Amino acid sequence: MAVQFSSAQRAIAVGVASAGLLIGAFTLGAGRGSAAPAGATGNSALTAAAAAAAQGGARITVTGTGKVSGVPNQLALSMGVQTSGASVATALREANSAVRSITAVLRHSGVAVPDIQTSGLSIYPNYSANSGVPSGYQVSEQLTITLRRLSVAGGQISAAARAGGNATVINGVSLNLSNTSTLMASARAKAVADAKAKATAYARALGRPLGPVASMSETTAAQPYPVPEFATNSAARASSPVPVHPGTQQLSVTVTVVFALG
């Protein structure tokens, strides 16, 4: 059966079709515009801006090290006494007496009261083989002494050892720099100069000028030095000053510096 449309219906159909054609044409034009080649003017401007930003934010990170040496000017002495007795009271009394003698000799030789410090005390029982009953007791008292005049430190050590008698125990010494501020300032200057020289060489190799410092951090380290050891009780028999050789102590500073590149 044939379908009949009124004049009003035909007008509506024509309007809808026309609207569809207009929408399709607009969509096609927009699609063609978005498919523009990457080399178009707008994209080129964005790429150039990104490249400029990347160049402006370029950084170079280097480390520099500065080392200096100084002669130690003071000595830290770790010594004490060790006694044994049938009772705690006996062993402790002998240890206390020996420590008082050591302290008196050190004070007489010019060591200041604040430079003599009690650093340890222990009391423990001694046992015979296969016995749970103590056969006696042992007392150990320790002192840490700072000797600030190396020219007489050897004599002070010998005098202290003799004062403690056969109970004397010397654990070791360490030689120190009492003031490192000037040396550390020199080490820092050398470390920064070393870092700048490296950064300049790298920037030149890259064909870029070296810019300002963006950040810097520091690491410090004192090089280890040998610590002389004295045998237990052997120094008590010394009749001449203990030889003291200060040698040198090395201080090292390492800096990590971030430079901007021009």
> Could you report the per-residue pLDDT of 102-151, keeping only the tens digit for each?
999 999 999 999 999 999 999 999 998 888 888 999 999 999 999 999 99
Q: Domain ends where: 176, 209, 243?
A: 176
Look at residue 15 and tell me if it is in a domain. Answer: no
Q: Are residues 84 and 64 in the same domain?
A: no
Look at residue 64 and tell me if it is in a domain. Answer: yes
Where the chain has pLDDT below 70, the residues are 1-56, 222-239
- Distance (Å, rounded) from C-alpha 227 to C-alpha 175? 8
- Distance (Å, rounded) from C-alpha 256 to C-alpha 96? 53
Q: Are residues 64 and 97 in the same domain?
A: no
Q: Domain ends where: 118, 149, 176?
A: 176
* 23 token code pair: 């929408």
Q: Are residues 199 and 79 in the same domain?
A: no
Look at residue 14 and tell me if it is in a domain. Answer: no
- Distance (Å, rounded) from C-alpha 232 to C-alpha 44? 83
Question: What pLDDT is attached to residue 29?
Answer: 43
Q: Domain ends where: 117, 145, 176?
A: 176
Q: Are residues 166 and 79 in the same domain?
A: yes
Look at residue 20 and tell me if it is in a domain. Answer: no
Q: Are residues 150 and 122 in the same domain?
A: yes
Pairing assessment for the beta strands 74-85 and 168-176 based on DSSP bridges:
antiparallel
Q: Residue 110: CB partners within 8 Å, gap ≥ 6?
A: 149, 152, 156
Look at residue 35 and tell me if it is in a domain. Answer: no
Question: What pLDDT is attached to residue 223?
Answer: 55
Q: Quick one: which of 82, 81, 86, 80 has its CA closest to 137?
A: 86
CATH code at position 209 = 3.30.110.170
Q: Quick one: which of 88, 73, 55, 106 has its CA closest to 182?
A: 73
The total number of structural domains that make up the chain: 2
Query: Domain span at residue 108?
Result: 74-176
Q: Are residues 164 and 78 in the same domain?
A: yes
